[in-house]
Amino acid sequence: EIQSLNYPSAYINNLECDWEIRVDSGFHIGLTFSGRFFIEQSVNCTNDYLEVSDYVNNEWKSLGRVCGRETTKVFNSTTNRMRLLFKTNDKIIGDGFKAIWNINCGGVIKTDRSGYLYSPGYPQNYKASLDCKYVIDLSTTKVITGQFEFFDLEEASSRGCNHDKVVIYTKNS
């Protein structure tokens, strides 16, 4: 959980607060807002704002800015790093925000190149109770082929794979 200074009371003017969230490799971050949300409203959120960024190709890429009274916006990083930058000017103040972040796995992979897909945390053991769903989205008519170079899951019971498993679906299945 991350919240603005003094939340839920008024934040102060001329703030610059910077938070970085890092999770294990193979995971990404989901961010939502909880409780009261009030950051000074302005066109394009140029006065007071909270900017959320994703760390892509060794640089921060903005996922968007939020301000105003209410937000139902959800932010999802594509990597294991997310940054929140809260800036205020010397004018109007608000109550601020409370953000809740979660560690997620899975997601949509848009590519036309070959690559590798690893379980979260590989080569270490994966964590318990994961439910990772990946979609590989090709923008062309290329064909996906795959092979497992290393495969080690919790041992199945005599009734089949009712615990840990990998299931592969095609678009038509």
Over residues 62-98, the pLDDT tens digits come to: 999 999 987 778 999 988 999 999 999 999 999 999 9
Residue 125: per-residue pLDDT: 85
Helix (H), strand (E) at residue 43: none
Q: Is the pLDDT of residue 52 over 70?
A: yes
Same domain, 25 and 76: yes
Q: Are residues 53 and 122 in the same domain?
A: no
Give the mean pLDDT of the chain. 87
Q: Domain check: are 91 and 149 in the same one?
A: no
Q: How confident is the model at residue 135 (pLDDT cuts 50, 70, 90)?
A: confident
What is the per-residue pLDDT across 102-118, written as a single tens digit (0 to 9) for each?
988 887 777 777 788 88
Residue at a domain's end among 104, 127, 157 = 104
DSSP string, 52-111: EEEEETTEEEEEEEE-BS-----EE-SSSEEEEEEE--SS----B-EEEEEEE--EEEE-
pLDDT value at position 160? 65
Task: Residue 78: give the domain boundaries.
Answer: 2-104
Across residues 16-22, what is the average pLDDT? 97
Last residue within a domain, chosen from 53, 70, 104: 104
Q: Among 78, 104, 130, where does a domain finish? A: 104
The count of domains in the chain is 2
For the chain, percent of residues with pLDDT exceeding 70: 95
Q: What is the pTM of this model?
A: 0.74
Q: Is the per-residue pLDDT at 19 higher than 70? A: yes
